[in-house]
Each structure stands twice: as C-alpha cells, then as structure tokens.
Amino acid sequence: MDQDSDPSPSYRSIRALYTPTTITVYQAYNTPIATAALAAHKLVAPFRRTRMTWIKPSFLWMAYRSGWATKPNQERILAIEITREGFEWALAHARLSHPDNATDREEWEKKKAECPVRVQWDPERDFAFRPLGYRSLQVGLGGEAVDRFVDEWTVGIRDVTGLMRELGRLVGEGRMEEAGGLLPVEEEYLLPKGVAGVVGADCVRAGEGDGERKEKGEEKRTESS
C-alpha cells in the first residue's frame, strides 16, 4: 500500500481497517499482558482496568508510539477487533484531552471529569516518523468505557508484533516499497454527524452533513440498485 495514496486526506479523519460491523484498533503491551490476552481472547490480568487505556486505529501511529515494537513495555503489538457500535459509543461519550480556544476552560474541565473517554488528534506519521499534514485519532478509555471495551466490544485479538518488526526492518534498510506493500490497508472511517461533532472529526456518513463522503462500498451499491 502506498501510504500517500490518498492525495488529500481530511485533516481530522479516522483511517482504519474495518468491516461493516467491526473496526481494528492497536495497542502495545509487555509480553505478560499480551500473552494472557491472546490466551483468553480478551484483556485479562495482569492488564489493569483501573488505568486509562489508549487505542489507536492507525497502524503507523502505533509504530511511531512503540518504535516498531522496541520500546520498553511496548514489545508486543495487539490488533484488537471491536464492534463499530462500541467504538462509536466511546467517541460519543468522549471529551477532547485539551480544550480549543473557543471553549470555556472551567466548563471543559467539568465535562471532562464526567466523561469516561478522552480523545486527542496527533500528527500522523510517515515511515520515517516525520509528522504529516493531517491528524491521527487516539482514544483513551477509562472507567465504564474500559469495562465495555473488555467485556462487550472485543470481537477478536491478533498478535501483529511480527508484522510490526518486519516493517521496521524493511524501513531501516530503506526498502520503502516493500514496507508499503505490507502495511495494513486503512480507509477513511466516517462517523454519524453527532459523534463527529463531539470529537471534532471532519467527515460524516453520507446524508448526514454537507460535504460528506460515502461509506465504503456505498457508491457500488448505488450504481447497481
């Protein structure tokens, strides 16, 4: 996959691997947590639900955060497939980690304390971990959201550590075309208008706002109807 195949990605949009019912997010853990999760098909001890846990739809941002799965306590990368319903519940119950200039800080602090989810938009990265001109979403789950994530939303867990390290090796050797061919194919994930407004995302599902883009596969369904 050419990581620059989209000539004009939206500034704040979610790019992810997803199906009609699920979306894949990534997390980095140490070996004991990852091994236990893979055996149980869900996150279990020594994973701690009392701490906020961050999920990332972007494989490359996970690569940047974990240093191609080489940083301490981030040596194992898990691809966690969760329900889209759960993912969108999380975003609907989120607050930005930092207020924008138009937001009253006192009101923002109050609402932030009431919400179990944090979101932030960080610069997306290229293979050299240089910041790109558009953003990547990180979602922090705490309290009720962690319990829902573990007990209700998780559909499957895969160990993608080998893929992460192989990509890091290829990039280190300057074999960018080969690395691009192994990168998971991520497409823009469109949100309901109300959810997009909560997290400040740019694009909404077709029919729910001006300038929207169509859901994956919708154009083909329309042409064949």
Is position 5 within any domain? no
Is position 31 within any domain? yes
Please state whether beta strands 94-96 and 117-125 pair in parallel, antiparallel, or not at all (unpaired). parallel
Total structural domains in the chain? 1
Q: Give first-to-last CA distance, the chain, whole Å.
A: 30
Is position 4 within any domain? no
Tens of pLDDT, residues 92-124: 999 988 666 556 666 666 666 678 999 999 999
Q: Is the pTM of this model over 0.75?
A: yes
**Residue-range definition of the domain harbouring residue 188:** 14-217
Find tokens 């609402």 and name the residue. Answer: 111
Is position 222 within any domain? no
Tens of pLDDT, residues 20-66: 999 999 999 999 999 999 999 999 999 999 999 999 999 999 999 99
Is position 88 within any domain? yes
Listed residue (210, 189, 191) closest to 199, CA to CA: 191
Q: What does each C-alpha distance from 27 to 46, 56, 70, 211, 224 come to in angstroms?
A: 15, 7, 13, 32, 39
Is position 62 within any domain? yes
Tens of pLDDT, residues 117-160: 999 999 999 999 999 999 999 999 999 999 999 999 999 999 99
